[in-house]
Amino acid sequence: MRLRPEIIALPAYKQGKPADASAFKLSSNENPFDPLPGVIAAVTAETAYNRYPDASALALRERLAAKYSVDVDEVHVGAGSVALLAQLILAAAGPDDEVLYSWRSFEAYPSLVTVAGATSVRVANRTDHGHDLPEMAAAISDRTRVVIVCSPNNPTGTIVTKDEFEAFMAVVPTDLLVILDEAYIEFVTQADAVNGPLLLARYPNLVVLRTFSKAYGLAGLRVGYALGPVDILNAARSTAIPLSVTAQAATAAIASLEAETELLARVRIIAARRDATWQALTRQGWNMPAPQGNFLWLPTGAETTSVAEALGETGLVVRPFPPEGIRVSIGEEDAVATLLLMSADLVEALPADHAARQIG
Ligand SMILES: Cc1ncc(COP(=O)(O)O)c(C=O)c1O
């Protein structure tokens, strides 16, 4: 069969490992809280399965447009923000074009670029695991069609500051699409972090991506949104697979916006649990970046597989990215307690000069 060789060569999408009933699934940055009863009721009431959904999810877009004080056409809804990433990359980049992003970052970026027929250009994260925006700006070429900035960055948990982002945008050509992926923005507590929607009016080349999967706990229903200029979003709409956002997903998203106060209170609990865990790990001797998403990054390097296996043996299913590190989602309280029981021994067992250990 004559299939595209670059597609055949792609590794299959690797989902976070499932966990059996006695284990904690900390491998996909999911929200550990059960859905709110009101959200379940709204979804359950949506029974017209024999009908196609509203193709543009207008009711949800109206809610989001009001929330962000933008026009309804400056909002585009997709079946998860990963679908929006795919659409935007397809809209802007094809064969001979480059898509630039920091690495390591969200594991879907490389394959989405390859599927579009374009070429990935990766700029290494700084040694503190954050984006190196000056290096990224320097890597822009005549062929660059998209730049992806991820804040907080999956999997390192670092943010891009507002000042860093503005300095970056000042040197990026205004006809080059910049996607600011803010899948975890609701968990951010650092005051100087970039906040995309506040900058939209300033940049004609900026699209901000957000999702209901993480803070709002709707990962299983698949709904996310893009905010940005109408011309760019219309191009994304043209590359979209029509009718992908179900009525149930749009309804759940609207019900979640209505229950935002309650949901954001849960987000604050997860963020507090994250900060307490990071502080405890740091006290144990771990050297790791301050986390701003709903996950932690253990830069275990060459020891990544063995540490992930040790965690797995105690019932913590985490996400190893050998040979760089391990991403651990902030899940249930008991999961965090289990992690902290083991992590002191694990850091002690690392070589004395290991990057994941504090010096001295
Ligand atoms: C940085 C980042 N962007 C986008 C996504 C996609 O999320 P979803 O398609 O569920 O909205 C994820 C999911 O893990 C992510 O980590």
In a domain, 186, yes or no: yes
Residue identifier of the C-alpha nearest atom 2 of ligand 1: 183
- The average confidence (pLDDT) of the chain is 96
Same domain, 127 and 228: yes
pTM of this prediction exceeds 0.95: yes
- List the one residue out of 81, 129, 193 whose CA is nearest residue 326: 129
CATH number for the domain harbouring residue 267? 3.90.1150.10
Q: Which atom of ligand 1 is nearest to the CA of 82?
A: 9
In a domain, 358, yes or no: no
Q: Once rounded to an integer, what is the mean pLDDT over residues 328-347?
A: 96
pLDDT tens for each residue of 263-273? 999 999 999 99
The answer to whether the CB of 293 is under 6 A from ligand 1 is: no
3-state secondary structure of 85: helix
Q: How confident is the model at residue 335 (pLDDT cuts 50, 70, 90)?
A: very high
Same domain, 104 and 238: yes
Q: Once rounded to an integer, what is the mean pLDDT over residues 161-189?
A: 98
Q: Once rounded to an integer, what is the mean pLDDT over residues 63-88?
A: 98
For tokens 């694990």, the residue is 346
The answer to whether the CB of 97 is under 6 A from ligand 1 is: no
Helices (H), the chain: 5-8, 37-44, 58-68, 81-92, 108-115, 133-138, 162-171, 230-239, 247-258, 260-284, 304-313, 333-349
Per the structure, how many domains does the chain have?
A: 2
In a domain, 281, yes or no: yes
Q: How confident is the model at residue 35 (pLDDT cuts 50, 70, 90)?
A: very high
Q: Once rounded to an integer, what is the mean pLDDT over residues 144-148?
A: 98
Q: What distance in Å separates the CA atoms of residue 228 and residue 75, rounded to the nearest whole number?
A: 7
The answer to whether the CB of 29 is under 6 A from ligand 1 is: yes
Residue 19 predicted with pLDDT over 80 = no
The whole-number pLDDT of residue 155 equals 98
Same domain, 195 and 54: yes
Residue identifier of the C-alpha nearest atom 9 of ligand 1: 80
The whole-number pLDDT of residue 13 equals 73
The answer to whether the CB of 181 is under 6 A from ligand 1 is: yes
The answer to whether the CB of 154 is under 6 A from ligand 1 is: yes
Q: How confident is the model at residue 360 (pLDDT cuts 50, 70, 90)?
A: low
pLDDT tens for each residue of 209-241? 999 999 999 999 999 999 999 999 999 999 999
> What is the chain's alpha carbon radius of gyration, rounded to the nearest angstrom?
20
CATH number for the domain harbouring residue 132? 3.40.640.10
The whole-number pLDDT of residue 12 equals 79
